[in-house]
Amino acid sequence: MTPALRQDGAPQPAPEWRPRPAPLGAEKHKGPDMPELSLPTIVLIVLLLLAVFTVAQGVRTVPQGQMWTVERFGAFTRLLSPGLNIIIPFVDKIGHKLNVQEVVLDIPEQSVITKDNATVAVDGIVYYRVMDPAKAAYAVQDLTQALVAMAMTNIRAVIGEMDLDQTLSSRDRINTSLLNILDGATDPWGAKVSRVEIRKIEPPETLIRAMNLQMTAERERRASVAKAEGEKQALVLQAEGRRDSALRDAEAREALAMAEANATRMVAEAAAGAGADALRYFIAQQYVKAFEAMAANPSSRLVIVPMESAALAGGIAQAMELLRGTAPGGASGAPPAGPASPPGGGLLPGDRPWNRA
């Protein structure tokens, strides 16, 4: 760079360098001088941070209800139990964190065709628990997804062997079949299926309406059959009652006939022993009782006396004479002391005198 020339041709001298003045207020903010860090100090700090990070990588705290797997260079080595555990930093790492508590798994809703070609919507839930964390982590890629897929497949298989009525009424049978199938299939995966529940079995709306109509018709049929059975039973009971009543009436008539026969036989025996007078006395006594019954009837205000009153009076007189003849102090069959007189000195009906037969 050539120096500038003056007007006279002589070279112009270079300007003298001066430091630039500090801005206003710069001295006020000027702080103390910071100490410079030496290289050994920096290395010590880096080593300290590396040691803290290494210790943090080697200490693991496992929460309760979980099991962690440890992998060394990608290979499974051991399990970490709940609590404080120590692993080799930068060599061992945590592979899988498994929940060993009982888990409730939802089975999504799906359409299933029954044996009689009816379509129903079915969903459910599965209760399972990890028993072997190593198998659950490495024997199957995704345990939850595998359980869902297997449960849905077996639901279709079990319900497909049953008709609609059996499907709606045999939930326990379906649950038991699914439990046995899933429990056996998940054993190689280290899981235990403890319970399977079918939550919903819902036919289509058209099928539900048809089922309601069928149920109504069936109930009406049962009511008609029950009514007919009741009427039949009532008729049978009435016939049995009439039969029993007729049998009892026949037995009563037979007993009455036997009683009449016995009474007639006894009267005949008495008449054979005492003679015709005893028989006439018995007849006269029954005759008098019949008139007493007629006279005692409150609805009868008129009593018709037959024209054979003299014969009745004669029968009564003979009975009285027979009683007098068999009374104590007199000889049986002896003639009376005098003519009989009516009681109280009156006359018999018909205004006839008291005569002996």
Tell me, what's the pLDDT at 345? Answer: 43
The whole-angstrom separation of Cα 140 and Cα 193 is 16
Q: What single-letter amino acid sits at 263?
A: A
Q: Do 222 and 166 touch, CB atoms closer than 8 A?
A: no
Residues facing residue 127 across a β-bridge = 104, 195
Q: What single-letter amino acid sits at 126?
A: V
Strands (E), 102-210: 103-113, 119-130, 191-202
Task: Please state the pTM of the whole predicted model.
Answer: 0.51
- Superfamily of domain covering 102-203: Band 7 domain (3.30.479.30)
Q: In what order do the strands lie in the sheet with 75-80?
A: 75-80, 66-72, 92-99
Q: How far apart are the first and last CA of the chain?
A: 205
Distances (CA, A) of 14 to 21, 76, 233: 20, 81, 145
Residues facing residue 105 across a β-bridge = 126
Q: Which of 92, 181, 100 lies closest to 143 in space, CA to CA?
A: 100
Q: What is the pLDDT along the chain (357 residues), one digit of tens a residue?
A: 455 555 555 555 555 555 555 555 545 444 555 556 788 888 888 888 988 888 888 888 999 999 999 999 889 999 999 999 988 888 888 989 999 999 999 999 999 999 988 899 999 999 999 999 999 999 998 999 999 999 999 999 999 999 988 888 889 999 999 999 999 999 999 999 999 999 999 988 888 888 888 888 988 999 999 999 999 999 999 999 999 999 988 989 888 888 888 877 777 777 666 666 666 677 777 777 777 777 777 766 665 655 455 555 565 666 566 555 554 444 444 444 444 444 444 444 444 444 444
Lookup: tokens for 97: 């964190």
